[in-house]
Amino acid sequence: MTDQPHFQLYIDGAFCEGAGGRVMTSQNPATGEDWASFACADAADVDRAVVAARRALGDPDWRGMSQTQRGKLLYRLAELIERDADELGRIETTDSGKLLAETAGQTRYVGDYYRYYAGLADKIEGAVLPIDKPDMHVFTRREPIGIVAAIVPWNAQMFLTATKLGPALAAGCAVILKAAEVAPAPLLAFARLIHEAGFPPGVVSVITGDAEHCAIPLTRHPDIDRIAFTGGPDTARHVVRNSAENFAVTSLELGGKSPVLVFEDADLDGAANGLIAGNFGASGQSCVAGSRGLVQRTVLKDLIARIMEKAGGIVMGDPLEPSTHVGPLCTAAQIERIEEVLATARGQGAVVHLGGARDPRAGNYMPPTLVECTDPETETLKVEMFGPVMSLLPFDTEEEAIALANDTPFGLGSGVFTQNLARAHRVSARLKAGICWVNTYRAVSPIAPFGGYGKSGYGREAGIDAIHDYTRTKTTWISTSDAPMANPFVMR
């Protein structure tokens, strides 16, 4: 098709093709057809972006800009994002298959993340230290950490970009934003807003490409000072190894296999809604998907009945249609993986109450699937599938529920449904996860940090402290004595 849109890289304040001339196509998951093309970066493009970033860090246009002025640029970016939220949402939906209601709404909301960090830009403070030496004035200041490689997956890219780009720019860093080679169009389109907002050339570059030509040269580049990565554990291992080449400060926000504990005193309608939101929302393509539902045995059958009744009203279809609740998965490979895991689970005695097979229509459609398990070793309880698959496992006691919840190498999200306030505090404190939602699920805010334990990564994004992760502390000692410095070889 000659009318397909084409998306370019954004390097050093200009839109361009990749140095190697490589181009890839992107499929519309709702139809399975190619809908757009995009330029791919190689090592020469990465180097050009890094050189531009290093220059920008020394350029008075950025280095000399006051913290308040940096904040105003971020406020401007937030306004542009809100202005174009519907367009960016439509691009993301066409590229990834996520619902337009979610992509446009989430894009609109991330404006608040940029505003949050805009407000913090001129509140990055040092301190005067009450030093234990006479005639010394000692103070600290926080300086930009340098060049940031921000690596973002396709599944929530505007949101996961904001949690990195917002604090990095507020701190005065330069950022090379690397979009996934799957569904990168929204971030390449977002580059237009960065350009329009007026950030000096080189402060932000937006690139995409495969591991060999783009991601590896970026994460190994000797001038990268900070890596902020969101993705899977296997890729993260390569990122960590690559960072040994440049000693870049690294944070990892990885996958999860989040438990949702439902106690017998819970509001079961609310618990059913929470499980549906945590598993079928975003078609299950969320790192915090609550895909391990642990339910007190006395209410398991009742909860299953409520979930099936509610799921009966779910509309699966075109993600651009407002009436659609569940759209296609981003890639066909996800469906193949889900089918393999479900086959293994059935062999382990699991019962599939709902869904369980690929939808025959064109596109990557997998219907909401509900699996009842009796064995905690069931495959669907162990593997992150990135699809709309909910697994439920019974428990009898609170201690058993906590033990089952923590029986995982992951530790990103978790949920607790109970009307017992003491139990809510008691259980949430013992769950090994970076986030715990009580009587709700998947809520986020720029004010609240998130991140994982164990194989879900390390470091935190969002919240007030995240901005400090993009700075280094410098300590300055000033002698206030009129006397010259004493001879160091004369001991007194």
pLDDT by position in tens, the chain (length 492): 458 999 999 999 999 999 999 999 999 999 999 999 999 999 999 999 999 999 999 999 999 999 999 999 999 999 999 999 999 999 999 999 999 999 999 999 999 999 999 999 999 999 999 999 999 999 999 999 999 999 999 999 999 999 999 999 999 999 999 999 999 999 999 999 999 999 999 999 999 999 999 999 999 999 999 999 999 999 999 999 999 999 999 999 998 999 999 999 999 999 999 999 999 999 999 999 999 999 999 999 999 999 999 999 999 999 999 999 999 999 999 999 999 999 999 999 999 999 999 999 999 999 999 999 999 999 999 999 999 999 999 999 999 999 999 999 999 999 999 999 999 999 999 999 999 999 999 999 999 999 999 999 999 999 999 999 999 999 999 999 999 998 989 876
213 exposed, middle or buried (CB, 10 Å; 0-12, 13-18, 19+)? buried
Choose, from 253, 372, 379, 384, the residue flagged as catalytic.
253
CA-wise closest residue to 10 among 45, 43, 37, 42: 45
Q: Is 253 a catalytic residue?
A: yes
Domains and CATH numbers, the chain: 6-254+452-476 (3.40.605.10), 259-438 (3.40.309.10)
Task: Give the bridge partners for 250, in sequence order.
Answer: 227
The residue type found at 368 is P
pTM score of the predicted model: 0.95
Task: Return the biggest CA–CA distance within the chain.
Answer: 87
Please give the distance of CA 58 from its chain centroid, rounded to a whole number: 30
| Token pair listed for 476 | 């300055």
Q: 49-71, pLDDT tens digit by residue?
A: 999 999 999 999 999 999 999 99
- Measured CA to CA, the distance from residue 329 to residue 253 in angstroms comes to 21
User: What DSSP character marks residue 461?
Assistant: B
Residue burial 91-108, b: 16+ Cβ < 10 Å; e: rest: bbbbbbbbbbbbbbebbb
- CA distances 60 to 37, 73, 226, 485, Å, are 36, 16, 22, 35
